[in-house]
Each structure stands twice: as C-alpha cells, then as structure tokens.
Structure 1
Amino acid sequence: MRRWSDHSIFWQVYPLGFTDALNAAPGHRLTRLVDWLDYAVELGVSGLQLGPIFAAETHGYDTLDHLRIDPRLGDDADWDELAAACRDRGLRLLLDGVFNHVGRGFKAPEHWFRRTGPAPDDLAVFEGHHGLVALNHDEPEVLAYVVQVMDHWLRRGASGWRLDAAYAVPPGFWRAALDQVRPHHPEAWFTGEVIHGDYPAYLAASGLDSITQYELWKAIWSSLNDGNFFELAWSLERHNGVLEAGLPLTFVGNHDVTRLATRLTDDRHLGHALAVLFTVGGAPSVYYGDEQAFRGLKEDRPGGDDAVRPAFPAGPADLAPFGWPVYRLHQRLIGLRRRHPWLARARTRPQHLANTAVALVSTAADERIVTLLNTGDTAVTFSVDVTGLALAESDNPGDARTLTTVPPHGWSILA
C-alpha cells in the first residue's frame, strides 16, 4: 500500500521571512499563511513544508523552546487555525525540527550539551556558529525531549518532520527516537537534512524515511550551466540507489541556497530543471517564490540568507505580473506528476547522452516517461524508443513538433 508521502509534492515556506517577522515585535503572523493556501492548492502541491516556527532567538534555527510557537509568529491558537485550514484543503504539514543544536538561551541542565572542555563556556557549537550550541545526543534526557517534541506536534496536526542538520547527529539517535514515535504515529514521515556522503547508508542506519537530495540538486543546475549532462546522468544513477533505500526529498531550491533563477546562467533552461525535478523519483519540494521566478543570491556572511528568505505580499494578487508564466509552468508539470504518481518511485536512466542533449527514461513496473532535454544551439533528433508515447508537455506546448526532435534550448516530456 502506498503511503501519503508517495503522493507528496511540497510547497516549502520559511515563515519568519515569508511573514516579515524576523525583526518584528510579537504578533499573530502565522495565520497569514492561511491566505496563501488556495494559491498552493492551485499550484498543485499536496503539502506545506514549514521552516522553523518555534520560539527562537533570531533566525529560527537557534531554538529556545520547541513546545512554544515563536511569539513573532503567534501562539498555539494560530497554529491550530493553520493546521485546520491545511486539513480542510487536504494539505499535509511538514515541520522543521532543529534537534542538533539550540540557541544559547535554551534552558536545560549542563549535561544536555556537548562540551569541549571543563570551563562553563566550553560548549561545542554547530559549524563554528557561537549562537548554536550542540546538544549531547548520548544523553537519555535529550532523547526523551526530542521524542516529546515530535509526539506533541504530530498529535496537534503535523504529518511529519524535516530534521535539520541530521548529518551532524549520530544516526542511531534518530533510530532510537523513531522507535518511540512511530508506534503512536505510524503514518508520520521523517526526512533528514543530509548534504554529503553515503545517503543509502545513512538512511539504513538512522531509520529515516528520506534525506534531502543535495547531490541531485547540484547536478541539475550544474549540468545545465556547464553543458555537461554526463554529470546529471552520473547523479541520477546514484539517485536510483537512494530510491532503493528511501524516498528522497528532491528540490531545485530551498531556504539555504541561491535561487534557481539566479543560479542558472541561461534563463531558457529553467524549464529544463523543472522537467527533471518532476519526472524523476522522490518527493519534490518547491521553495516559495521559485514558482514565481524569484531571484536571490545566498552569501556567506551575516544576513547572507536574507535575499533567499524574503517577505511575501498580503495575497497572490499583489505579486508582480512577470512571475505568473513560471507559476503556470509549475502547474503544468506538477499536474503531469500527479497524473503519474508512480514517478515517486521511478528509476531514471539516460539514453542518447551527449554534453548538451539527453533523453531521460523514467520507469516503474510497466510505466514509462521520457524526458528530452536540449541545451544546444541546434535542434536534436533523439535516438530513443517512443512506442506508445505521446507529447505530454514541452517548453512550447502550442508548437507542432515531432516526438523525438527538440528545438534548440528546448525540452519535451513524452508519456
């Protein structure tokens, strides 16, 4: 039987930025998201993936209390209103759990923290950030606390957790936590932020359902920019191995990276990236604003995330007109994905592979979809079997093209 996660397509939102709450006084801002849920439903997604919403010192990843909504966003009543509105629309809620580290103001006994020496301030920190104090995951009380937090919000309407900096936590800790949480929430889904390394091995050791597919993210935009589909082909073969171990969270943008529209060196290739995202295995996630071709450069400095975590207007009618064609492109490709839900578990392999042209064949059982990508300056006729297939989507759905020929800088999906 398929789990709900096998049908999931998320819209990821960073609430503190979305609601312009980062430097704001306490207020009831979380419910502003309710006014955007119909926009998300019309986009075609089935879930809302939230960034940090719990009481924190600054950006949300320096948590002070995992059992309290950040006062800048509101309170429990605001959460209940958002959860009910999502439930009414059939949207699953995925929460951001920051359990590797906490803010310096987090109140807990000293033995809850990892130490680097005997002095009171000799506390381990996360990747050099003084304000992010590392928890001691060998401490049973820390495990009990994380289990309590997970259970609390799953009981109050969440459907799963994205576990921040999961790679920095011993995988056995997640397994121990999930062994206690899953019996009470068997449908809950857990994805861990893992950037580098052996994804299948981490999934096996941790018991998580999913990891964040950073390797595929990088290969998508890099292969387009460099005219090197061999990189994408190599990453997709590894991606097939990840799919044997779990259901990776796939994306072409998130709250920690430069926007896709900024990253790509040729605007004509944005559709190519999306065509890959929505025709390969995994649980796709769309970062808010990417569906409107927002731009933003991630910088390695204090405040360097601000450009990729902007405020949204009061409602969709206030968005700039230039982004709506990209929104409609997302709608079309998400619609195709939803008509072929088997793609979540599909394996994808390249055919007709060249530097600037590739045919990606995604299969599961007796199902098949072929995605043709051409980033070169001349048309390409692909050598690929298209028996039984028809043109399902393309960069220019109004033109008359043969099934196997794709114009310069064009793409087609055959289903």
Structure 2
Amino acid sequence: MTGQGMNEIGAAVIGTGFIGTVHLWALRRLGVRIAGVLGSSPGRGGERARALGVDRAYNSLEEMLADPGVQVVHVTSPNHAHYSQVKSILAAGKHVVCEKPLSMTSGESAEMVRLARDSGRVAAVCYNTRFYPLNQQARGMVQAGELGDIRLVTGHYLQDWLAKDTDWNWRLEPEAGGVLRSVGDIGTHWIDLTSFITGMKPVQVLAELTTFIPERRKPVGPVETFSRSQGATEPRTITTDDSALLLLRYPNGAKGSVAISQVNFGRKNFSAWDIAGSAASAAWGAETPDHLWIGHRDGPNQILQRDPGLMNGLGREAASLPGGHVEGFADTFFALFRQVYGDVAAGGRQPGSTYASFEDGHYEMLFCDAVLASAREGRWVDVRETTT
C-alpha cells in the first residue's frame, strides 16, 4: 500500500450511530473512499447507509472483510463487540481504527496488542481529544521543557446526557459497555490526554465511584447516543458509575486529581485539564478549545489562540484552519485520521505519529482494573499490580 493517495484507500465503518457518523464525516473530508457500513442489523445498516449517502451496507462482518476494496476498518460498535471484531479485522489483513475503550477487559486488550503487533498493520485507538491542536501544542511545550518538571495534574470531564432517570444508552448495561461507565467512557479520555501531554502515565490511583441514579427507565426500542428516548419504558437497576473521583500518582512524584461525571446538568462535553510545572503552568478546556492558558509567576499570564503561525511544530501539524477560524470536536477526528491514513499509505506507523496505539488502549484497561480495585478495597492501587 506504500505510496497510495488518500482517495485510493477504501474504508468501512462498523456502527452507524452518532460516533460512526462522525467517523464518516471526517473520512469524507479527508478524501478517503467509503466502501460501506455495517449496522447492528441488515435492516438498520441499510436504512442508515441511505441516510448517510453510502452506497453499500454489508449484511455481516464476514461480507465486509471479504471485500477487496476495504483496506481500513473503523470500529464504532458497542464496547463488548470490539474484541471479536478487531481480532477478525486483523486476521483478515486490514488496518483498524477502534473506538475507546479498546476492549471489555485487560486480558482481551493484552491479546489485541499482541495480534496488532504481529499483524504489521496500523492499529489505532480513537482517543480523538489528543488532536485538538492546542493539546498537541501543550505536549510540545512539555517536551521542550517550557513548563519545567511536572508537579500537579488536575481537571475534570463532565457531561449531562445521563443526568435524568429517563436517559438511556447501551453504555448503562455492563454486558454491553463494561462494569465501569463514566470512567471507561470519558475518564479514560482524560487520562489518555493528560498522559499524552505530560509524557507520563499514572502509576497509582485512589478511586471513589458513585451511582446517583440506581434505577432508570429503559425504552423498549433502541436509543442513539445523545438523543432522547420516546415511548414505553421498563425499570432497570443500574450498577455502573455515574461519576468518579480519582487521585493519581505519577512516576516522577507528581500528583493528580480528576472529577468525572455524566450527570452534571448543563455540562454537555466539558473536558478540562490544568498542568502545573516548576517553571510555568498551562490549562485548556474543550468548551473553549482554541485557547490555551499559560501561567507565569514573574510575568504576565498568556492566552495562546490557536494560530498555526504562532504554534510549535506539533500544534501546527494538527491544525487545519487559520487563526480565528475555530476548530472543534469533528476536526479532531479529521486530524487523527489524516495521520492514521498517512501511515497506512506509508506502510506502517511512522516515528512522529502521535495517535493512541493499542498499547495505550491496553494501559487504559489496566487503569480501569486499578480503579475498580481501589473503589472496592478503599486503598491506593498500583496500576502495575494489574498488569496482565
């Protein structure tokens, strides 16, 4: 595949809901050829393919993988399907982009890492928030020593789409989404992002998990992510976490804390971090993604507006538009896929690539194991204790 142009690479998307649609938008903008989609059923797939303007809806994963026009498969299905689908995709010799979390257990993710490595194919986890350009900028600043030694990493990730007992999504069911919900769904985004920026992954965690809504009304029919359900419902007991409070320890002695919630009214998708170093601090939030705050002790603080002409190499590479033209959520997928498909065209992951690998996805599963152990036992847990 080396030397192929973007429009010569064929992609297929598993999942036709909210995130699958966002993947399609980004791929079209990139110029990648869309070979087809696979829905939760042939009927659902055909209906969504027509709505999205995609020519082909596959009836099965086997049919998709047998299509010689498919070189890359995007997995945006419910979490429980990732493991088996990714295994089949890699066995078929296709490259893969998998939504987070990578799997349901660290045992599964460990095997996925090995299979991806042995396959020689590009294998990415879709931690898209890395690709807000100013998050890449912040990583470059840390690498250049502009913040000094990292001391404190704090922040939150807050949403409200599950704040009512009538709100429903498949992520609420452990058999589909896993035993950790807020942590597995959005908490791992924050951990991955701050680890990416600082160049350090937390080694210990102390966790408190809370389920504020122990019973919900499940609709009889399907509900798409972030949409409202209608019609008849049935009561369901909820055991997964609505929120989490996490304390973190890093290998260099730095400390951290993060609040995670899917039940904060008015917070639609508010991820934010604040990183304090020995020379300067920096802070960023997803509600104002084109501004990076930089804090100083002996001079004026700064606000860096996303502008390729003012940014370092990493930040500039992730940006697409001139300064003053806001880049947001959907643009992060475009920037991520631009890098992934560049590597597909080059024949493998390149040294300068910054998207999350399957190894990164496996770490997040180990981190989730540590969170669960800490919450159940009321103690600090070393993430390395859970290494598979």
Q: Same fold judged by TM-score > 0.5?
A: no
Larger relative contact order (Cα-Cα within 8 Å, sequence gap ≥ 6): 2
Superposition TM-score, scaled by structure 2 size: 0.29
Superposition TM-score, scaled by structure 1 size: 0.28
